[in-house]
Structure 1
Amino acid sequence: MNFPTEILDRLRKSGVVAGFSVDNVAHAIPLAKALLAGGIDAIELTLRTPAGLESVKAICENVPNMLVGVGTILTPETAIEVKAVGADFGVAPGMNPRVVRAAQEAGLPFAPGIATPSDLEAAIELGCRFVKFFPAEPAGGITYLRSMAAPYQHLGIEYFPLGGINADNMSSYLREPNVPAVGGSWIVQKELVDRKDWSGITERAAAVFKRTK
């Protein structure tokens, strides 16, 4: 299953997707609402903590205006679970054919992670046309992405860069016609979440959102 046009359009409109993990399920809803209040209406909640899946479910059920993406989907079983709790899409750091197929069978729009032309060709062979470019900056940044993407331009592949993206370099990625959105793990600061400083999260989100315009 490729990404539906409506999700890609929303990502294009958002420009930036806030990436984060949640340690406490009780933080999930206020955190999502704080981001939304700052103008960021797309997230990638990574499944790196025991609270991850329950947090996804809580946001899907209680913050309907948020586009909920789930990251760090490493097994076929997880792809199925993510779809079951209501996530809008999933992403992974790498290109695992078994995970891609499970997501497709479950009806979960899914972007595997790619960092090389070989990764990209494996994703293309499975029908993927929207992929996560990870880790973007360590792999070579925007210059590398342009070079890697060039031979596949006629296929209409679009890229979701994450890894080393920040407020200073995000604009250079968003100027690329094949980059509808970037992922930003710097937006949600753990200290602010631990202090339940939701207004602080909203301020950071608003500052980032302005840079996408």
Structure 2
Amino acid sequence: MRVKFLGTVGYHPNEVGHTSCVMLPEEGIVLDAGSGFFRVADEIMTPKIEILLSHFHLDHTVGLSYWIDVIYGKKVDMNVYGMYGLIECVNDHLFQGDLFPLPFPGTLNQIIEGLDFNLGDVLVKTERFLHAGKGVLGYRLEKDGKSVCYVTDTMADRSEIPFIGKCDLLIHECYFQNDMAAYAKKVMHSYTGSVAQLAKDADVGQLVLF
């Protein structure tokens, strides 16, 4: 599974990057739809785009409103997956008429966390982790004996180990450095030392911080 990083910063885009968006082009899978989602347009290789949302904060969902540029002139379907409340979040808030003039054209699918499902030949596993509000969904993608885990906007906690254990690639949010560890815990985010230790304890093959 080839992974492309289209957005790797948190909270807001800046002069060097955009907010969370990671894509597996050959599989047509997109992890989160932050402001980096506009870059999906140049990476489409499949007739469907499967968008897996970790949670509904704007830095992970605002890119859905870029759908016109992403699929214009292409015969591409979009399917969005997320935790309970997805349909209301997208239709009643993000695409509410006063905020955006057109409805979202894709299908919205609410996930029951812990229930595995397939997207093509990729097995998708989910688990909910702590964060403000409803928490976040972590994703584990498995194909041909390889595994990619995506965990964002949560504290790097040992409770993640059964889910991420021995994965080939762990993509983990790490918004704060060690000198802000106390604040990271307060706002339920991760810091560098905690993620590094978690990856070591979980025996992951490769760790990517973003």
- TM-score bracket for this pair, using the shorter chain length: 0.3 to 0.5
More helix as a share of residues: 1
TM-score with structure 2 setting the length: 0.34
TM-score with structure 1 setting the length: 0.34
More strand as a share of residues: 2
